[in-house]
Structure 1
Amino acid sequence: MSQQWQERARPACLERRYRFASYDALRDFLDQAAALSEREGLYPDLGFGRDYVNMTIHADEASGSLDERQRRFAQLIDEIGDQGVLT
Structure 2
Amino acid sequence: MDHQWTARPKPDRVEWLERRLEFSNYASNRDFLDRLNDFCEQQGRFPDISFGRTYVNITLRSENEGSPISEEDYAFATSIDGLI
Higher relative contact order (CA 8 A, sep 6+): 1
Q: CA RMSD in A?
A: 1.5
2:57 maps to: 54
- Write out per-residue CA displacement over residues 42-75 of structure 1, whole angstroms, 9 at most, x where no aligned residue: 1000010010000000112345111122111111
TM-score by length of 2: 0.86
The structure in which a higher percent of residues are strand is 2
Note the residue ranges of structure 1 that are not aligned, 5 or more in a row: 82-87
- Of the structure 1 ranges 15-24 and 72-81, higher mean CA displacement relative to structure 2 is found in 72-81
Q: Please identify runs of 4+ aligned residues in structure 1 that moved more than 4 A.
A: none
Note the residue ranges of structure 2 that are not aligned, 5 or more in a row: none
Q: How many pairs does the alignment contain?
A: 81
